[in-house]
Amino acid sequence: MSLTITLEGENGNEIESFDDKGLLQTIIPDYNDKSSFCLRFVDLYGDTTFNTLQVPELIEELEQKLTELLPIETKELVENIIRLAHRCKDEVHLYLKIYGD
C-alpha cells in the first residue's frame, strides 16, 4: 500500500507531491503508542492533514526517526517529508497532507 505525501495551499491546490512507495507505513507507530506526537495519527486508509501548528512536532518526531537504523530509501523519504514540513511551517496557508490508500 502506498501513501501520497502532498504540500497543499489553503484551497487544496497541490504545490508538491510524491508517493512514499509503501515505506512510510514501516515507521508509523501503533495508534496507542503515546510516545508518538504525530505519526501515530497517520491514517493508512484515509487522509491525514497537518497544519502549521502541528508541523513542528511532526518535524521533531521525523528527525528522531532519522537517528534510527533505517534503510537508505526510508531515510530519503523521511528527509523529503521533513523538507515539505519545513515549507509548511515557514510559509503561510500551507498544509502537509498524507493521503491513504
Quick one: pLDDT band at residue 1, thresholds 50, 70, 90?
Answer: confident
Q: Cell numbers 489553503 correspond to what residue?
A: 10
pLDDT at 101 > cutoff 90: no
pLDDT digits 0-9 by tens, 5-44:
999 999 999 999 999 999 999 999 999 999 999 999 999 9
Residue 29 — φ and ψ, nearest 5°? Answer: -75, 165
pLDDT at 65: 97
pLDDT at 89 > cutoff 90: yes
The CA distance from 54 to 37, in Å, is 9
Residues across the chain: 101
pLDDT at 50 > cutoff 90: yes
Average pLDDT rounded to a whole number, residues 62-90:
97
| Alpha helix positions (H), 1-101 | 55-66, 72-90
Q: Which helix (H) or strand (E) holds 2?
A: none
| CA separation, residue 90 to residues 26, 49, 56, 82, 95 (Å) | 28, 17, 10, 12, 11
Where do the domains of the chain lie? 4-99
